[in-house]
Amino acid sequence: MKPVIVTKGITKTYQPDTIPVHALRGVDLTIKEGEFVAIVGPSGSGKTTLLNIIGGLDRPSEGYIEVGGKDISALSDNALIDFRRDNIGFVFQAYNLIPVLTALENVEFVMLLQKLPKDQRHKRALELLHAVGLDDKISKRPIELSGGQQQRVAVARALASKPAFVLADEPTANLDSVSTGQLLDIMANLNREEQMTFVFSTHDQRVIDRAHRIITLEDGKIISDQLGHG
Amino acid sequence: MIFKVAWRNIWRSRTRSLVVISAVVLGIWAIIVITGFSIGMVRTYIHTAILNEWSHIQIHRSDYFVDKALEDTLPNGFAIYQNLKNEFPEELLSPRLLVQGMVSSPKAARGVTIKAIQPGPENATTELQDHLSQGQYLDVDSRNPMLIGEDLADKIQVSLNNRVVLTFQSYSGEITAASFRIVGLYKTKDSRYDSQHIFVRQEDIKKLLGGDGLHEIAIRVPDGTDFQPIMDRIVKEYPGLDVQSYKTLSPDLELYESTIGLTSTIMTIIVMLALIFGIINTMMMAVLERIKELGMLMAIGMNKQRVFFMILIETLLLGCIGAPIGMLVGYVTILLTSNTGLDLSAYSAGMREFGLSDIIYPWVPPTIYWQLAIAVVITALIGSLFPALRAIRLRPVEAIRTL
């Protein structure tokens, strides 16, 4: 399997002028296509910072990062936005759907940004919502959906642009166990059947239990990288 | 879909958007109504001044205005008058003999301009008879009849059927006085005019002057006709005469006419400036309460141009919903009042001092609607800039973390 994400010697230091906070202290990581990876660690260990850097939302202070074979540390802000749109699917902790759009429109939106024709957008959005089991909710707005359903729409949206991988920042933090189970089933299926790469940051034991690989961070460093039980 | 998102976004905070839309409606309506009112006032003033006092064109001897002397009559004035009458059968002409003199009652005396007229043509040109408030017009079978303005009659304390003495210089240079009977009192929309002019018949005064002649031929063109081509022809045909329009005879009319366009522009600028702040405030709130969402949009790949565009569209929509409603309400207001007029007779005593009519017929030039449409778009664009720039300065990684 070819590598999707490669980082070398990534550090991230906040407020370097006053008292520097070292969020990451040299992270070397390679994630390959089709992996189902959980990044775990206590609060303040640097999970979210690492995820933001891998996701092109933040830039490392030092080090090299390559996504899908492309060095993204040199991209301009706008080029980075386009890169995220085409290569990375995001699932946020707080769902973060567009509240004024229906489930179907939310999924279509990313493809609209990619300037895909309307019929293609529509077809793929319907397929994705079917894949996450929301055929009957396509015309509901986020406020009319449960947390679990919103997060499933978010997963469908993340996949809409056919990204290189999906980044999920604590995706189950606000979900009950039934919804968490459904969501994990969906993601595991997509991983198995479509070789979609998933990278989570999580505290949630239920997620950790399903991961194929568990990377543990502490004080901005990887302290263990082992196979999971999933 | 960006339009759809923008459209739905403005209805997320229904009350707030409705407040801004209402402000736009009210602002546009106010511009139209105030402009219509002030233009209507100016137009009524100009119309009244042309009708009662100046006509469109006046012809004098070339040096008449140097000292307005009695002997400065038009050379062959009556022949010119006849020629013009034949040449312009549609136009309304009045030949006048103008004498500077004094009107005296037993109690007071005033300097006046005595307008010696031919009752028929004068009435056709200035509708003088319609302005009689008491008594009769000059076409009565009476010796030395005279019309006097109500204001002047008050000042010299005379009333209908009283006799007054007119004193003036004759052609021979003698001071002449004669008794005239007040057969009618007139009242125009301009009290200044009324207190300075009295009307007598030419046939009565020429005997007293010891000669005949004309100082002035006034020409009023029918409503809806442009006077300029007629004036150009007269200038060409009578190069030795002083031919002027009301615009040069009474420069204040020209000035008022030129303010017509200015009024709406100034009103528009003032109202739009006020609206800009309302729009900025609303859109700024809309952006600040959506920081997390905007951050998410940028995270999933909506670039800065699109975010900027979305905020811009939202602002334009606010303006574009309000503007047509405001225009429609303004249009209807003008339509309803332009036929009946606004009766300001409660204040008309004061307005007459300035020559203003007591009934105003509001009117706006049709171009005002285009001006306003453009002004609203420009206002919305300017109002959106600040919030839109604020939105694209967000860094997604920080915005998403905001609770």
Q: Locate the DSSP E strands across chain A.
A: 3-14, 21-32, 36-40, 62-67, 70-71, 88-91, 165-169, 197-201, 213-218, 221-227
Pairing of strands A62-67, A3-14: antiparallel
> What's the CA gap between A22 and A11, in Å, rounded?
7
Whether B400 and A108 lie within 8 Å, measured CB to CB: no
CA distance B289 to chain A (A): 13
pLDDT for A3-37, tens place per residue? 999 999 999 988 767 788 888 999 999 999 999 99
Neighbouring CB atoms inside 10 A of B307's CB total 20
Name the residue of chain B whose CA is nearest to A51's CA: B397
Cβ–Cβ < 8 Å for B208, B176 = yes
For residues A101-138, b (16+ Cβ closer than 10 Å) or e, as one string?
bbbbbbbbbbbbbbebeeeebbebbbebbebbebeebb
Mean pLDDT is lowest, of A23-27, B49-53, B114-118, B341-345, for B341-345
Asked if A58's CB is within 8 angstroms of B8's CB, the reply is: no
Confidence label for B210 from pLDDT (cuts 50, 70 and 90): confident
**Number of other residues whose CB lies within 10 A of the CB of residue A148:** 19
**B 265-294 residues with CB < 8 A to A:** 292-293
Residue A166 in this model has a pLDDT that exceeds 60 = yes
Q: What whole-number distance in Å separates Cα of residue B403 and Cα of residue B292?
A: 7
3-state SS, residue A114: coil
What is the rounded distance in angstroms from the CA atom of residue B60 to the CA atom of residue B67?
Answer: 12
Say what the pLDDT of residue B18 is.
Answer: 93
- Residue B200's H or E segment, with its range, is strand B197-201
Under the banding of pLDDT at 50, 70 and 90, the label for residue B401 is: low
pLDDT tens digits for range B307-321: 999 999 999 999 889
Share the mean pLDDT of chain B.
89
**Does residue B349 sit at the A interface (CB-CB below 8 Å)?**
no
B314–chain A nearest CA distance, Å: 13
Greater confidence (B399 vs B212) lies with: B212
Amino acid at B395: R
Q: Which residue's structure tokens are 């000669």?
A: B211
Residue with tokens 């802000």: A77
Q: Which chain A residues have a beta carbon less than 8 Å from that of B293?
A: 96, 98-99
Cβ A160 vs Cβ A107: under 8 Å: yes
Specify whether the CB–CB gap between A133 and A121 falls below 8 A.
no
> In A, which residues are within 8 Å of B4 by CB distance?
101, 105
- What ipTM is given for this predicted complex? 0.90
Residues B138-151: what's their mean pLDDT?
90
CA B167/CA B180 separation, integer angstroms: 11
CB A81 within 8 A of CB B301: yes
Q: Say which amino acid occupies A22.
A: H
Structure tokens at B358: 């007591």
B126 — contact with chain A (CB < 8 Å)?
Answer: no
Q: Say how far residue A102 (Cα) sits from the centre of its chain.
A: 22
Nearest to A92 among B5, B296, B298 (CB): B296
The average pLDDT across A113-140 equals 92
Question: CB A81 to CB B12 under 8 A?
Answer: no
The residue-averaged pLDDT of B40-52 equals 84
B402 pLDDT exceeds 70?
A: no
Contact between chains at B5 and A86 (C-beta distance less than 8 A)? no
CA distance A152 to A133: 8
Distance from CA of B391 to the nearest CA of A (A): 14
Angle (CA) B118-B120-B125 rounded to 5° is 95
Count of beta carbons in the 10 Å neighbourhood of residue B104:
16
Give the total residue count for chain B.
Answer: 403
- pLDDT tens per residue, range B241-265: 999 999 888 888 888 878 777 877 8
Q: What is the structure's pLDDT at B403?
A: 45
Please name the member of A57, A78, A86 whose beta carbon is closest to the beta carbon of B304: A78
pTM summary value: 0.77
